[in-house]
Amino acid sequence: MTTLWQASQQLQSDKSGPEAFTEAALNAARDPHKEGECVYIKLYESQAIQQAHKAGIRWKAQHPLSPIDGLPVSIKDLFDVEGESTTAGSRLLSDVPVATANASVIERLNLAGAAIVGKTNMTEFAFSGLGINPHYGTPSNPWRRAEKRIPGGSSSGAAVAVADGMCLGAVGTDTGGSVRIPAALCGLTGYKPSANRISQAGTLPLSKSLDSIGVIAHDVRSCWLLDSVIAEQPLELKKYDLRDARFAVPLTRVLDGLDREVAQAWDYAIKGLRHAGATLVEISLSELDELSSMNARGGITAYEAWQWHQPTVLAQPDTYDPQVLVRVQRGSHLNEQDACELYQQREAWQKRINAALAGFDALLMPTVPCIAPTIASLNDPQRYMEINALMLRNPSVINMLDGCAISLPCHKKGHPPVGLSLASVHGDDARLISWSLAVETALNWRS
């Protein structure tokens, strides 16, 4: 499948026009044999075609607005689009006043000439790592589709849209892994930047202290390309040599209870990196055990979500996905003093983690410890909560750290999709994405 990076390279070499890519994405979205009905909450067919046509003229004149001018991308249903209600995967917000302006990230995509194909489905209000949505349907994972496995969340539609060719890149959000989890489960690459890299103006929040805007695409270069459009300061992508790499492998928490398939892929990735000359150092990082107690009552996410949702929960609780409602209501038991203590604990925890990671180029771990379960297996509320907590366990570490992270496919061809996470401290995005490119090249997972 053509990647966003490859499509951009083809446009720059005059080998094709953007119209073909956007038409192919729309055809895939309309294909009754694919997941388009569940992937897109809103499809912008005419607008996307018009944008691609205008971009085609610009490319022929050699005056494109950006390297992705006219190429098809999708946006998560959390971003304001002028003249539309922002529904966040919920029926509750269908009749709220329309947005009076575009979200910052939408403005940047428009300035770049991107052909926005549509708004993608998601877990209601982004409050789950599974991607299940009872209101708009749940798009099924591309791997063994007949088995109807979860796509991962909360940016579920974003990942399936890329995997099924309904766009070449997707913009989503990540509060505890919501870009990286679906990328890992769907065999894609997902990048969560340091939170302040991408403006969140016009984005419906889940937890303002932990939210960040990220991207999903097929590979590192494509994620880098899309990120460079939506960020005010593009990252410089450099060529690194893995023989110079020093990676930390934490032994606390993140390697517990791995599925057999995840353990095999993890072992394959670690051996591949060592073979490429990388130095891998096992460290205890016992501070990770503290997260269980910090989040025991719902943590910062629940507290901040409750501040936003309280009026609607009290007025219309029956309109919520019951599994989301339970998580939101946990915040009602936390007061300002509880929150103050949580923020102080987080700050102190961040300082200790940053100190422990000093001298390392990145931290390595499996993105999630299990492969995608079936949607049907999560009908039981208790099972839902257990698997959700498991999915969020590893990636949420980096949101608490306010670091940057990327999930790369690390499974062998024909095996269940598994993600390898590279992460680093706040502001280390440029080095992280460059190291990720080196790791992707070394693992050569597509072979």
Catalytic residues, by residue number, are 76, 154, 178
Strand partners, 249: 282
Burial degree of 84 (CB within 10 A; 0-12, 13-18, 19+)? middle
| Helix, strand, coil tally for the chain in percent (to 5) | 45, 15, 40
Q: Contact at 8 Å (CB) between 266 and 258? A: yes
What whole-number distance in Å separates Cα of residue 341 and Cα of residue 355?
21
Pairing of strands 40-43, 419-424: unpaired
Neighbours of 291 (CB within 10 A): 18
Helices (H), 104-208: 104-111, 156-163, 180-185
Tokens 């990076």, residue located: 5
What whole-number distance in Å separates Cα of residue 262 and Cα of residue 233?
35
Reduced to 3 states, what is the DSSP secondary structure of residue 312?
Answer: helix
Q: Contact at 8 Å (CB) between 159 and 170? A: yes
Residues 6 or more apart in contact with residue 160 via CB below 8 angstroms: 35, 38, 39, 139, 140, 141, 142, 151, 166, 182, 186
Residue 218 phi/psi, 5-degree rounding, is: -80, -30
